[in-house]
Amino acid sequence: MERHEDAPCRFCGLVPVAPGITSATRVVVRSEAMQTVLKRASRFAASDAPVAIVGETGTGKEVVARILHANSPRAAHPFVAVNVAALPADLLESELFGHGKGAFTGAATARRGLFEAADKGTLFLDEIGDMPLALQAKLLRALQDGEIRRLGESESFAVDVRVVCATHRDLSQRVREGAFREDLLYRLRVLTLEVPPLRDRRDDILLLAHRFLADEHTHVTGFTRAARKRLLAHSWPGNVRELQNAIRHGAALATTQEIDEDDLPAEILRHTGPAGATTAPRGLRTLAEVEREHILYVLDACKGSQSEAARVLGIARNTLWRKLREYAA
Ligand SMILES: Nc1ncnc2c1ncn2[C@@H]1O[C@H](COP(=O)(O)OP(=O)(O)OP(=O)(O)O)[C@@H](O)[C@H]1O
Ligand SMILES: [Mg+2]
């Protein structure tokens, strides 16, 4: 693995570099909340036990998983990431476990799966809370036995893989809903890391904003005071990813060397976080109008996930569902 000049963090001892991240390879960990997460991760790095990383959408769960891998004894071996919610169960099964020749129509040759590709390294199972139930039993067996079997083959063989998984869902709730196996939950949740939402680590906002701005490689090099104020006041329901998009938007619109508040996306000008309230009211609107707009905005930032949006909004899921039905009427 490529090594980096970056010094390990004095606080947690981890090198805050996550190879493979598209633009910024330097990860921002200024806030105490984020440093605490990485300090905990440093204690997990040497172990082979599974790690579950939880946190709202866009908080940096995959970034943390990559740091964990890069600082583990497995660092010289592959980090293989797969979104287990993105594929239907049968495709996912052959993707994860591979298949033998003739295992199904079209399987002209044998193919190794991602477990094999990640041998001696780390397999990152993203969106584990949405993994098809049918496959959860097979994953549990692989974790328990350290062995896998390709689809359509009868022989099992050992793989040396550390499994790290991530979810924006509440896994205990998924178990109660009957969508997630309890035995798998206990197996995966041996070690947990909780990545805090951006609104709970405001110290990171401006540093992240500058990092993302530098990644744009444009003539724009900073922010006006008003823009900084907006960035700090916003509640960031889409977390770091939303901030990244906002900076991209700002850099594209800025006409001077600094991003001004008007260059930021409209949502950021309309919304302020609970701690914010610095935005001047734009016209007089009813509470219901503001509520509707905010709910739809949060839902959008949560990529349409009603359960996640309800959690961010601090309301029951069926309350959210009822309100959405009213809006659609
Ligand atoms: N601390 C950080 N420093 C620099 N970039 C970061 C940091 N945290 C997140 N990012 C960037 O923000 C984006 C979202 O991060 P990531 O994909 O890890 O989030 P996630 O929690 O896995 O999101 P999702 O729940 O949607 O899968 C990525 O482009 C990532 O590079
Ligand atoms: Mg992710």
Q: If DSSP states are collapsed to H, E and C, what string results for 184-223?
A: HHHHHCCEEEECCCHHHCHHHHHHHHHHHHHHHCCCCCEE
Q: Look up residue 243 and give its two tokens.
A: 């901030």
Average of per-residue pLDDT across 278-300: 71
Cα(61) to centroid(ligand 2), Å:
6
pLDDT tens, position by position, 7-38:
555 555 565 554 443 333 468 888 999 999 99
Residue recorded with tokens 């633009």: 23
Q: From the CA of 245, which ligand is nearest?
A: 1
pLDDT tens, position by position, 93-108:
999 999 988 777 777 7
Beta-bridge partner residues of 17: 26
Return the closest-CA partner of residue 247 out of 212, 223, 277. Answer: 212
Q: From the CA of 204, which ligand is nearest?
A: 1
Ligand 1, residue 21: give the atom nearest the CA.
31
pLDDT tens, position by position, 148-175:
999 998 899 999 999 999 999 999 999 9
Cα gap 184→83, rounded to integer Å: 17
Q: From the CA of 197, which ligand is nearest?
A: 1
Q: From the CA of 66, which ligand is nearest?
A: 1
pLDDT tens, position by position, 65-83:
999 999 999 999 999 999 9
Cα(326) to centroid(ligand 1), Å:
33
Least confident of 151-160, 275-284, 290-299: 275-284
Q: Look up residue 166 and give its two tokens.
A: 């991530």
Looking at residue 262, the DSSP 8-state letter turns out to be G
pTM score:
0.79
Report pLDDT for 20: 42
Report pLDDT for 76: 94
Least confident of 70-84, 231-245, 308-322: 308-322
Cα(193) to centroid(ligand 2), Å:
14
Confidence of residue 285 (pLDDT cuts 50, 70, 90): low
Cα(126) to centroid(ligand 1), Å:
12
Regarding the beta carbon of 24 and ligand 1, being less than 6 Å apart is answered yes
Our mutation pick for probing the ligand 1 site, out of 53, 62, 68, counting the most ligand atoms within 8 A of Cβ, is 62
Average pLDDT, the chain: 86
Return the closest-CA partner of residue 320 out of 301, 298, 289. Answer: 298
Regarding the beta carbon of 27 and ligand 1, being less than 6 Å apart is answered yes
Report, in angstroms and rounded to the nearest whole number, the Rg of the chain calculated over CA atoms: 22
Report pLDDT for 292: 85
Confidence of residue 286 (pLDDT cuts 50, 70, 90): confident
pLDDT tens, position by position, 109-142:
888 999 999 999 999 999 999 999 989 999 999 9
Cα gap 42→35, rounded to integer Å: 10
pLDDT of residue 329 exceeding 90, the answer is: no
Our mutation pick for probing the ligand 1 site, out of 63, 167, 213, counting the most ligand atoms within 8 A of Cβ, is 63
Cα(68) to centroid(ligand 2), Å:
14
**Cβ–Cβ under 8 Å, residues 44 and 191:** yes
Cα(215) to centroid(ligand 2), Å:
20
Helix (H) or strand (E) holding 138, with range, is: helix 133-145
Regarding the beta carbon of 61 and ligand 1, being less than 6 Å apart is answered yes
pLDDT of residue 179 exceeding 80, the answer is: yes
Report pLDDT for 102: 79
Cα(101) to centroid(ligand 1), Å:
38
Regarding the beta carbon of 198 and ligand 1, being less than 6 Å apart is answered no
Report pLDDT for 51: 96
Confidence of residue 311 (pLDDT cuts 50, 70, 90): confident
